């Protein structure tokens, strides 16, 4: 809630901060580059962090002067509908911001194929993102901004400071929000000289991050979103065991009502294993070992995804080398998921192409018009 409010306020303050340009012409002409709204923007947001993802999408689109049709996930539409009520009460003109609940294969498809929608902003799976790009090509070549899946590497070098703190952060990077996070640090790469001791600390941290009643402030994790996601994650856990990874924590069924999964830590994972290369979207951590910096980078970049990455080290030269060589839209150094409204959020490769947050997102919801005026 706080993040959504802060982001809407930030974009409202940014409305008059994005300027056009005057080209450096001679005295015989005036060249101007104008920014104009795109028109109708369709925003499709996921079920995890439904209010914050909505704010990231609709605030810059509205601030840039567009009209927005928001399709929330069918699993979490209520906060979006409430937001539409509040928008009407706040004086947003009728039709400028609309919420259209429904399924992706019906409502989402219709929006993506519509000849009247000029832009499609999407956060969700890579598979759906690819489908939406096809729909854009089949219709009016609408712009498509995608923030898709991730399998983010979190690299821990032996020279990092305070292993206890780093282990706690590494565990939180994957187990926060029961792992249902696009930038979850699901691949933990640890230098072999500290691997055994560090993994033991991560397992201990995981034991303190057990699921519980989502309305209890003492619960670190809540329930999985639904039975489909629960069965998907449990299937990956079984597959990890079958493929030979060492199960160091979790994996057992949680007794009682509710779709809860305890934090899972697998060690000895390889890139060929499903748990080592596919996005699980659950509280499952895959640990890899490495000997050298080059090996760590090869493992980190050996992925179809490129949404986020983490680097833990006290060597500034190494930090800069690794940061530049990582194939990732975001790199967190000695932290995980740091940033605020001023920093763009998005990925490379099959993690997408658009950017949420910062002035860059505001610019994406505009189109450029070049004006050349001859002066007599």
Read off the tokens for 132: 């939406």
By residue count, the chain amounts to 376
**Beta bridge mates, 253:** 261
Pairing of the two strands 331-333 and 29-37: unpaired
Which residues lie below 8 Å from residue 375, measured CB to CB, with a gap of 6+? 27, 28, 29, 30
Q: Which of 182, 191, 279, 364 is catalytic?
A: 182
Read off the tokens for 332: 């967190």
Read off the tokens for 171: 């565990």
Q: Catalytic annotation on 182? A: yes
Residue 345, classed as helix, strand or coil, is strand
Read off the tokens for 235: 């299937």
CA trace torsion 100, 106, 111, 112 (10° rounding): 150
Which residues lie below 8 Å from residue 75, measured CB to CB, with a gap of 6+? 47, 225, 226
Q: Catalytic annotation on 277? A: no
Residue recorded with tokens 């390889």: 270
Question: What whole-number distance in Å separates Cα of residue 165 and Cα of residue 218?
Answer: 20
Question: Annotated catalytic sites, by residue?
Answer: 147, 182
């Amino acid at each position: 809630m706080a993040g959504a409010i802060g982001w809407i306020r930030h974009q409202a303050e940014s409305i008059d901060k994005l300027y056009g340009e005057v080209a450096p012409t001679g005295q015989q002409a005036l060249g101007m580059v104008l920014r104009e709204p795109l028109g109708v923007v369709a925003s499709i947001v996921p079920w995890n962090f439904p209010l914050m993802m909505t704010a990231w999408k609709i605030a810059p689109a509205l601030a840039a002067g567009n009209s927005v049709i928001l399709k929330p996930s069918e699993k979490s539409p209520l906060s979006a509908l409430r937001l539409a009520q509040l928008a009407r009460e706040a004086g947003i003109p009728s039709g400028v911001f609309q919420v259209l609940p429904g399924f992706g294969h019906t409502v989402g498809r219709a929006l993506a194929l519509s000849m009247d929608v000029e832009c499609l902003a999407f956060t969700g799976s890579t598979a759906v993102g690819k489908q939406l790009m096809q729909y854009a090509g089949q219709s009016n070549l609408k712009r498509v901004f995608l923030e898709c899946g991730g399998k983010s590497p979190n690299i821990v070098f032996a020279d990092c400071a305070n292993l206890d703190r780093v282990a706690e952060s590494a565990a939180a990077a994957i187990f926060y929000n029961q792992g249902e996070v696009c930038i979850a640090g699901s691949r933990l790469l640890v230098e072999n000289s500290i691997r055994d001791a560090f993994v033991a600390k991560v397992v201990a941290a995981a034991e303190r991050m057990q699921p519980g009643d989502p309305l209890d402030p003492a619960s670190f994790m809540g329930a999985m979103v639904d039975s489909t996601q629960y069965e998907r994650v449990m299937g990956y856990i079984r597959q990890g065991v079958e493929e030979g990874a060492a199960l160091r924590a979790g994996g057992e069924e949680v007794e009682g009502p509710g779709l809860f999964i305890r934090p899972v830590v697998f060690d000895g994972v390889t890139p060929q294993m499903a748990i080592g290369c596919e996005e699980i979207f659950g509280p499952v951590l895959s640990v890899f070992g490495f000997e050298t910096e080059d090996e760590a980078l090869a493992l980190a970049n050996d992925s179809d995804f490129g949404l986020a990455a983490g680097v833990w080290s006290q060597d500034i030269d190494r930090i800069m080398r690794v940061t530049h060589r990582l194939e990732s839209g975001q790199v967190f150094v000695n932290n995980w998921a740091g940033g605020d409204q001023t920093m763009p959020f998005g990925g490379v490769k099959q993690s997408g192409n658009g950017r949420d947050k910062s002035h860059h997102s505001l610019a994406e919801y505009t189109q450029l018009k070049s004006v050349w005026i001859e002066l007599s």
